[in-house]
Amino acid sequence: MVDVAIQNITGYAGLSAGLLLSDHPEFKLVAVSGRADAGRMLSDVLPLWSSSRDLRIETAVPAVDLVLCALPHGAAAAAIVPLRTAGSKVVDISADFRLRDASTYATWYGEHPAPEMLASAVYGLPEWRRSEVATAGLVGNPGCYPTASILSIAPVLEAGLIEPFITIDAKSGVSGAGRGLSLGTHFSEVNESVSAYGLSGHRHTPEIEQELSAVAGSPVEIIFTPHLIPMTRGMLVTCYARLTRPVTSQELLELYRERYRNEPFVRILDSSPSTKWTSGTNLCLIHPTVSARGSHMIVLGAIDNLVKGAAGQAIQNANLMFGFPETLGLDRSVVFP
């Protein structure tokens, strides 16, 4: 068994990872942390947790075989440095090791606490970086918006079928904002309302551009607008791009099905996906089509923001890092909240 610790288990991503690990045949959860709840038992904080596998919540986790770090950006990197020095493999669910360039990180997040480690980190989107993840000691788990966006648009960029300027309209459930309290995610403010945010620039923009540019082999520019939807979980992205040559919707479907033919967590649909179809799963559902005038393509992607967009993908990456089948432990639904 591989000993696993979760740093900051009491957040939504950390909790989801813990629930997935509870039945994993190869990973054993041995330590957890949570700053505000340190000293309490996990079952006291999370009543759905089984007392038979209870753990005391600590302020930090020890260096074990694998650490899933669900701390906020900045705090994550500071905690990961000693863990990596001690030999732990780490999957970072924060944004600290997604961007390769320290100056780009500084523009969007502030000064990076450990810029010397950026070069050794691997961007953990298995469908596009599987071989790199398999040999990595440090993986930057993609954000939820980038996961859905990159999986949805990358195949046509790789094929040279679209121009390198993409518009992404994205919608997320409220759990994507985390478990902390704020006016912007208060029930009375969010319920029966839809709102856009990050209009002047959202911090997931450089992450999406970085990875799509790598796929295209040249710079890609996006306009990315996220929206908050009055639902607990789920994410839907709608991507628009101008075609470089005429193509039919059927040709697009065939292209996507061939590119993702062996991907266990990506399914190509004949019609638009719904977020509810992905709830609690590590799936990404994609539907590509051609616009009515034939000049643009539209592709829709749906994921569960807490599973494929966070905890599930982290375990998918961890499976690869330890040489296990990447589907291991991900054949069950996790729905909390």
Catalytic residues: 144
What DSSP letter does each residue of 254-291 carry, written as one string?
HHHHHHTTT-TTEEE-SS---GGGGTTS--EEEEEEE-
Tell which residue, 263, 269, 254, has the closest CA to residue 300: 269
What is the rounded CA–CA span in Å between residue 153 and residue 209?
A: 11
What is the rounded CA–CA span in Å between residue 152 and residue 309?
A: 13
The one-letter amino acid at 119: A
Residues 6+ apart with CB under 8 A from 236: 148, 170, 171, 273, 274, 275, 300, 301, 302
What is the rounded CA–CA span in Å between residue 108 and residue 203?
A: 6
Angle formed by the axes of helices 144-158 and 126-134, nearest 10°: 100
Helix locations, 187-238, DSSP H: 187-190, 205-216
Asked if residue 278 lies in contact with residue 308, where contact means CB atoms within 8 angstroms, the answer is yes
Residue 194: how many CB atoms within 10 A of its CB? 10
Asked if residue 279 lies in contact with residue 233, where contact means CB atoms within 8 angstroms, the answer is yes
Helix locations, the chain, DSSP H: 12-21, 42-45, 75-85, 102-109, 126-134, 144-158, 187-190, 205-216, 249-259, 312-321
What is the rounded CA–CA span in Å between residue 199 and residue 268?
A: 30
